[in-house]
C-alpha cells in the first residue's frame, strides 16, 4: 500500500533525472571491470588484444541492476595523455566529456552481471596511456552506472598503447623522387636560360 | 626584340611596340585594361600564371590544419606543439618575402617565384614521412616559405598593369591566391576521405593526401618558367643585355625602401588584415571541430568558406580602391582602407563572443569579407609608395603580414592561457589598434587622410627624388618619370591636369 505512492515518486524523480544532463559524478560505481593488460604493459595497435570482463560489484544489492539494459565499454585516455590536449578534456557533463573516445563494444546486460569481450586494438588508436571504462545504460541509452579498471584518481592500473606510424617505405621513396624531380626541373630551366642569354 | 631597334629610325617606337600586343597599353607597355577571361600574352597570361602558382603555395602551406585532428593523434602532438608549428608555418615567409622583393627587383618575378616554389616543394612531399612534433614543425616551416611568392605576384602585376588598373590586378591575383587557404580546407579532407575509403588506414591516408598539393605546386612552377615573362617587353636578362633595362644595385634599392616610413606603416597594418587571415586559416578548422563538435569534413567546409570569400572580397577591395581613387584619389584609397579594416576588427571581436554555431558562421563570413577586402585596399596603395624599390616595399608589406600572423599566434593561440574564443576577441582589439597608423600616411603630391596635398608637390618630384642627380643625368629614372605621368589620376577629380588646346582654336603659327 505504501509502495504505490513511493513507486510514483520514484517514477517522477527518474523522469526528471533523465531530462537533466547526466553528470559523471552522479553515477554510482557499481560495476567491476577488469582488463587483461597488466599495469604499465605496452600494447601495439593492430597487433595486440585486450580481454575485458565486467560484473556487478559484490557489495551492491542484486536489485540495483534492474534498470540496466546494455553495457557500453570504452577505451579512455589517462590524465597523462590529456595534458595540453584540449580535445581530450574530461568534463563532468557526459555529453561534453571527451575522455573516452573509442568504443570497444556495446552489449546487452545480462542480469547477475557477468560479461566479457575480446577487443583487437584498432589501427586508429593513437599512442597514449589508457584505461577501460564500462557504462551501464538504461532503456533510453542513458548512462546510469559505471565501472572502470582504474581507481577514482585514474592513477592505477594504466596501460600503454603504441599506435601505428602510418608511414610506408613506398611513401618515403615517392617523396624523395618527386622532390628530386622538382629540383632537377629548376636546374634544367636555369641551364636553358643561361644558354639563351649567351646566344 | 632585335627588330624594333632596326626599325626604330623609320617608325615611331610606340607604334611598333603597341601593335605587338593584343591589349591596349600605355607608355610603359603596361596593359590599360584587365580582361579576366583572356590569356592574352604577356599581360593576362602573366596574371593567370602568377595567381595560380600562388594559389598552390597557399594550398600547401595550409594543407595540415584541416587534417590536424588526425595528425595530432598520429604524432601525439600537444596544443603547444600545434601552436608552435602554426607560428613556424607563417614565420619563414617574413624574411623570405623581403628577400623575394629584392630578388624581383634584381632578377625578375618569373625566375624568383619559380625558384622559390620549386625549392619548397620537397618540404611538402616530405610531410608524408614525418613522425614527431619537431619534424612536423620543420616541414610546416619550410613549406611556409612558399608564401613569399605573394610578393612576386604583386610585383609582376605592378609591372604588367597600368596604375588605374593595378589595384584590381593586384587584388584579384592576391585574392585568388589567398583562396588557396580556403580551398585546401575542402580539398584535403576530401582527398583524405577518398584515400581512406579506397582502403588506407587513417594514419596513412592523410600522408598520401599531401602528394596532391605537392604536385600542384611543382606543375604550376614549371608552367611559370615555361610560359611566363617578366615584363611586357621580355625577360630581365634579355632586356639588361640589350641595354633596355638598367640593372639596379641592392644597396640603393634597400636604402630607398627602408627610409620610406610609409612602407613600415603599411607593413604593420597588413599584419592585421592579412596576418589575421593567416592566423584564422591555421586555427579555424580545429576551433569549429572542438567547440561546436562538428565532424572533420564539416569543420573543413566551414573553415573553407572563410578562405573562399577571397574569390570576391580581396579583388573587391582592389577594385573599390581603384574606383574610389577616380573620385577622391589617394586620399580616398587611404580612408577606405582604414574604415574597412577597422570594421573587420569589430567583427573579429564579435566572432569570439558567438556561442551559437550558425551565428558564429555568419559573423565569420562577414568578418572574412572585410578583412580580406582590407588586404585588397592595402595593395591599392603599395604600388604608389615607391617606383625604384617597388619589389622590396611589396616584400616589406607582405613580410609585415606574416609578422602579424606570428605575433598574433604567439600571444593568443599558443599554450592554454587564453581559450580560443577569448583569443579571437582580443585579436579583434589588436586589429583596431594596429590599423590606426594609417592616419599618418601622407603623400606630398596627393595628401593624407586629414591633410590635403602641398601646392607645389608633383608625382614626378616624389618618384624622381629616389634617384641621385648623376643617375638622373644617365636617364636611369626614366621608368619612374613614366610611372609618375601615368599616376596623375591619384590626385582625384579636382587635381586632374587642365585639358590641352581646345579643338576649335586654330594654331597661330601655321
Q: State the Cα–Cα distance between residues A44 and B233, nearest whole angstrom.
A: 64
Decide which of B462 and B406 is more confident: B406
State the cell numbers at B25.
Answer: 597599353
The pLDDT value recorded for residue A10 is 54
Of A175, A185, A189, the CB nearest to B129: A175
Phi, psi of B41 (to 5 degrees): -80, 150
B215: number of CA atoms within 13 Å, CB side? 6
| pLDDT average, residue stretch B156-161 | 87
Task: Report whether A136 contacts A142 (CB < 8 A).
Answer: no
Q: Degrees (nearest 5) of the Cα angle B402, B405, B409?
A: 150
Question: Residue A109 in 3-state DSSP?
Answer: coil
Distances (CA, A) of B31 to B2, B66, B204, B389: 22, 39, 48, 21
Q: State the Cα–Cα distance between residues B339 and B373, nearest whole angstrom.
A: 11
Q: Note whether B214 contacts A167, CB cutoff 8 Å.
A: no
| pLDDT average, residue stretch A81-96 | 90
Q: How many percent of chain B have pLDDT more than 70? A: 90
Task: Report whether B156 contacts B109 (CB < 8 A).
Answer: yes
Of B122, B201, B221, the CB nearest to A166: B201
Residue B502 pLDDT greater than 60, yes or no:
no
Mean pLDDT is highest, among A34-38, B101-105, B156-160, for: A34-38
B464: number of CA atoms within 13 Å, CB side? 17
Which residues are within 8 A (CB) of B459 and not within 5 positions of it... i.e. 6 or more apart? B445, B446, B484, B485, B487, B488, B490, B491
pLDDT for B36-72, tens place per residue?
888 877 888 999 999 999 999 999 999 999 999 999 9
| pLDDT average, residue stretch A92-113 | 88
The pLDDT value recorded for residue B18 is 47
> In this structure, which long-range contacts are made by residues B30-35, counting pairs with CB atoms below 8 Å and at least 24 apart in sequence?
B30/B159, B30/B160, B30/B161, B30/B162, B30/B232, B30/B486, B31/B160, B31/B161, B31/B162, B31/B165, B31/B232, B32/B162, B32/B164, B32/B165, B33/B165, B34/B161, B34/B165, B34/B168, B34/B169
d(CA A102, nearest CA chain B) in Å: 13
pLDDT for A23-69, tens place per residue?
999 898 988 899 999 999 999 999 999 999 998 888 888 777 788 88
Which residues are within 8 A (CB) of B416 and not within 5 positions of it... i.e. 6 or more apart? A84, A86, B79
d(CA B99, nearest CA chain A) in Å: 19
pLDDT for B324-363, tens place per residue?
988 888 899 999 999 999 999 999 999 999 989 999 999 9
Q: Is the C-alpha dihedral spanning B324, B330, B331, B333 positive or negative? A: positive
Residue of B nearest to A86 (CA): B79
* Furthest CA-CA distance within chain A: 112
The secondary structure element, H or E, covering residue B303 is helix B296-308
pLDDT for B384-418, tens place per residue?
898 888 878 888 888 899 999 999 999 988 877 78
Q: State the Cα–Cα distance between residues B385 and B403, nearest whole angstrom.
A: 20
Q: State the Cα–Cα distance between residues B157 and B31, nearest whole angstrom.
A: 10
Distance of CA B396 to the CA centre of its chain: 11
Task: Report whether B256 contacts B386 (CB < 8 A).
Answer: yes
The secondary structure element, H or E, covering residue B214 is helix B211-227
Is the bond leading into B166 cis (omega within 30 degrees of zero)? no
Q: Note whether B121 contacts A182, CB cutoff 8 Å.
A: yes
Contacts of B125 in chain A (CB under 8 A): 174-176, 178-179
**Burial status of residue B375 (CB atoms within 10 A of its CB: 0-12, 13-18, 19 or more):** buried
What's the pTM value of the predicted model, to 2 decimals?
Answer: 0.81
d(CA B215, nearest CA chain A) in Å: 8
Contacts of A127 in chain B (CB under 8 A): 76
Q: Other CB atoms closer than 10 Å to residue A16's CB: what's the count? A: 9
Closest to B289 in 3D by CA, of A47, A86, A67 = A86
The pLDDT value recorded for residue B344 is 95
Residue B175 pLDDT greater than 50, yes or no:
yes
Contact residues of A toward B, CB < 8 A? 83-87, 123-124, 126-128, 163-168, 171-172, 174-176, 178-179, 181-183, 185-186, 189, 193, 196-197
Q: Is the C-alpha dihedral spanning B194, B199, B201, B205 positive or negative? A: negative
Q: Note whether A87 contacts B125, CB cutoff 8 Å.
A: no
Of A163, A185, A197, the CB nearest to B74: A163
Q: State the Cα–Cα distance between residues B152 and A141, nearest whole angstrom.
A: 59
Q: Degrees (nearest 5) of the Cα angle B317, B320, B326?
A: 145
Q: Helix/strand/coil (H, E, C) string of B321-343?
A: HHHHHHHHHHHHHHHHHHHHHHH
Task: Report whether B315 contacts B172 (CB < 8 A).
Answer: yes
Q: State the Cα–Cα distance between residues B75 and A165, nearest whole angstrom.
A: 8
Question: Residue B161 in 3-state DSSP?
Answer: strand
Query: Among A157-171, B92-106, B145-159, B482-496, which is the least confidently predicted range?
Result: B482-496
Contacts of B226 in chain A (CB under 8 A): 189
The secondary structure element, H or E, covering residue B91 is helix B79-107
Residue B148 pLDDT greater than 70, yes or no:
yes
Task: Report whether B345 contacts B435 (CB < 8 A).
Answer: yes
Residue B441 pLDDT greater than 70, yes or no:
yes
Residue in B65, B75, B107, B203 to test binding to A, most A beta-carbons within 10 Å: B203
Task: Report whether B167 contacts B316 (CB < 8 A).
Answer: no
Task: Report whether B430 contacts B303 (CB < 8 A).
Answer: no
Exposure letters B149-184 (e unless 16+ CB within 10 A, then b): bbbbbbbbbbbbbbbbbbbbbbbbbbbbbbbbbbbb
Distance of CA A135 to the CA centre of its chain: 12
Task: Report whether B326 contacts B493 (CB < 8 A).
Answer: yes
Task: Report whether A56 contacts A32 (CB < 8 A).
Answer: yes
Of B72, B207, B238, the CB nearest to A166: B207
Q: Note whether A166 contacts B206, CB cutoff 8 Å.
A: yes
Q: What integer best gives the mean pLDDT of chain B?
A: 85
Q: Is the C-alpha dihedral spanning B236, B239, B243, B246 positive or negative? A: negative
The pLDDT value recorded for residue B497 is 53
Q: State the Cα–Cα distance between residues B476 and A88, nearest whole angstrom.
A: 63
Task: Report whether B63 contacts B213 (CB < 8 A).
Answer: yes
Q: State the Cα–Cα distance between residues B414 and B433, nearest whole angstrom.
A: 21
Closest to B174 in 3D by CA, of B95, B246, B273 = B273
Q: Note whether B204 contacts A181, CB cutoff 8 Å.
A: no
Amino acid at each position: 500500500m505504501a509502495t504505490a505512492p513511493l513507486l510514483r515518486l520514484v517514477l517522477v524523480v527518474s523522469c526528471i533525472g533523465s531530462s537533466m544532463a547526466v553528470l559523471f559524478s552522479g553515477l554510482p560505481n557499481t560495476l567491476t571491470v577488469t582488463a587483461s593488460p597488466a599495469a604499465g604493459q605496452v600494447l601495439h595497435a593492430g597487433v595486440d588484444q585486450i580481454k575485458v570482463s565486467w560484473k556487478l560489484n559484490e557489495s551492491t544489492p542484486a536489485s540495483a541492476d534492474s534498470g540496466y539494459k546494455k553495457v557500453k565499454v570504452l577505451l579512455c585516455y589517462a590524465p597523462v595523455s590529456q595534458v595540453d590536449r584540449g580535445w581530450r578534456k574530461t568534463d563532468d557533463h557526459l555529453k561534453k566529456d571527451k575522455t573516452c573516445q573509442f568504443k570497444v563494444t556495446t552489449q546487452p546486460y545480462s542480469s547477475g552481471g557477468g560479461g566479457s569481450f575480446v577487443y583487437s586494438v584498432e589501427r586508429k588508436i593513437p599512442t597514449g596511456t589508457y584505461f577501460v571504462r564500462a557504462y551501464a545504460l538504461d532503456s533510453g541509452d542513458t548512462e546510469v552506472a559505471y565501472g572502470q579498471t582504474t581507481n577514482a584518481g585514474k592513477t592505477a592500473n594504466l596501460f600503454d598503447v603504441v599506435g601505428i606510424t602510418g608511414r610506408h617505405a613506398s611513401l618515403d621513396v615517392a617523396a624523395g623522387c618527386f622532390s628530386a624531380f622538382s629540383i632537377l626541373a629548376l636546374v634544367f630551366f636555369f641551364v636553358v636560360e643561361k644558354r639563351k642569354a649567351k646566344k | 626584340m632585335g627588330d624594333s631597334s632596326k626599325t626604330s629610325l623609320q617608325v615611331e617606337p610606340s607604334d611598333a611596340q603597341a601593335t605587338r600586343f593584343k591589349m591596349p597599353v600605355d607608355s610603359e607597355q603596361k596593359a590599360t585594361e584587365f580582361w579576366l577571361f583572356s590569356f592574352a600574352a604577356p599581360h593576362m597570361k602573366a596574371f593567370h600564371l602568377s595567381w595560380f602558382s600562388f594559389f598552390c603555395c597557399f594550398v600547401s602551406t595550409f594543407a595540415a590544419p584541416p587534417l590536424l585532428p588526425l595528425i595530432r593523434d598520429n604524432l601525439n602532438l600537444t596544443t603547444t606543439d600545434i601552436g608552435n608549428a602554426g607560428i613556424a608555418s607563417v614565420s619563414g615567409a617574413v624574411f623570405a618575402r623581403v628577400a623575394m622583393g629584392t630578388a624581383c627587383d634584381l632578377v625578375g618575378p618569373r625566375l624568383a617565384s619559380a625558384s622559390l616554389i620549386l625549392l619548397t616543394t620537397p618540404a611538402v612531399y616530405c610531410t608524408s614521412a614525418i613522425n614527431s612534433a619537431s619534424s612536423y614543425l620543420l616541414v610546416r616551416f619550410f613549406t611556409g616559405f612558399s608564401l613569399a611568392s605573394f610578393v612576386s605576384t604583386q610585383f609582376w602585376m605592378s609591372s604588367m598593369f597600368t596604375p588605374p588598373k593595378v589595384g584590381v590586378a593586384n587584388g584579384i591575383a592576391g585574392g585568388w591566391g589567398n583562396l588557396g587557404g580556403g580551398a585546401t580546407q575542402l580539398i584535403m579532407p576530401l582527398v583524405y576521405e577518398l584515400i581512406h575509403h579506397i582502403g588506407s588506414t587513417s594514419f596513412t591516408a592523410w600522408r598520401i593526401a599531401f602528394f596532391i598539393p605537392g604536385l600542384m605546386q611543382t606543375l604550376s612552377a614549371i608552367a611559370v618558367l615555361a610560359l611566363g615573362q617578366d615584363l611586357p617587353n621580355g625577360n630581365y636578362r634579355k632586356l639588361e643585355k640589350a641595354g633596355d633595362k638598367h640593372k639596379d644595385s641592392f644597396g640603393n634599392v634597400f636604402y630607398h625602401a627602408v627610409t620610406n616610413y610609409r612602407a613600415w606603416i603599411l607593413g604593420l597594418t597588413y599584419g592585421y588584415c592579412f596576418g589575421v587571415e593567416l592566423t584564422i586559416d591555421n586555427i579555424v578548422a580545429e576551433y569549429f571541430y572542438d567547440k561546436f563538435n562538428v565532424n572533420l569534413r564539416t569543420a573543413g567546409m566551414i573553415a573553407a568558406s572563410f578562405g573562399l570569400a577571397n574569390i570576391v572580397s580581396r579583388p573587391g577591395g582592389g577594385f573599390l580602391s581603384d574606383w574610389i581613387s577616380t573620385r577622391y584619389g589617394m586620399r580616398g584609397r587611404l580612408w577606405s582602407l582604414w574604415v574597412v579594416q577597422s570594421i573587420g576588427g569589430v567583427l573579429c571581436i564579435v566572432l569570439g563572443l558567438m556561442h551559437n554555431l550558425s551565428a558564429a558562421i555568419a559573423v565569420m563570413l562577414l568578418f572574412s569579407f572585410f578583412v580580406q577586402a582590407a588586404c585588397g585596399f592595402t595593395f591599392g596603395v603599395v604600388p604608389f609608395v615607391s617606383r625604384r624599390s617597388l619589389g622590396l616595399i611589396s616584400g616589406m608589406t607582405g613580410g609585415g603580414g606574416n609578422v602579424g600572423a606570428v605575433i598574433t599566434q604567439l600571444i593568443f593561440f599558443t599554450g592554454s592561457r587564453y581559450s580560443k574564443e577569448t583569443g579571437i576577441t582580443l585579436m579583434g582589439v589588436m586589429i583596431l589598434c594596429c590599423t590606426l597608423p594609417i592616419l599618418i600616411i601622407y603623400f606630398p603630391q596627393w595628401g593624407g587622410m586629414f591633410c590635403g596635398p602641398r601646392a607645389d608637390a608633383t608625382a614626378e618630384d616624389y618618384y624622381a627624388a629616389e634617384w641621385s642627380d648623376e643617375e638622373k643625368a644617365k636617364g636611369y629614372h626614366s621608368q619612374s618619370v613614366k610611372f609618375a605621368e601615368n599616376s596623375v589620376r591619384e590626385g582625384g577629380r579636382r587635381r586632374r591636369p587642365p585639358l590641352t588646346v581646345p579643338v576649335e582654336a586654330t594654331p597661330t603659327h601655321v
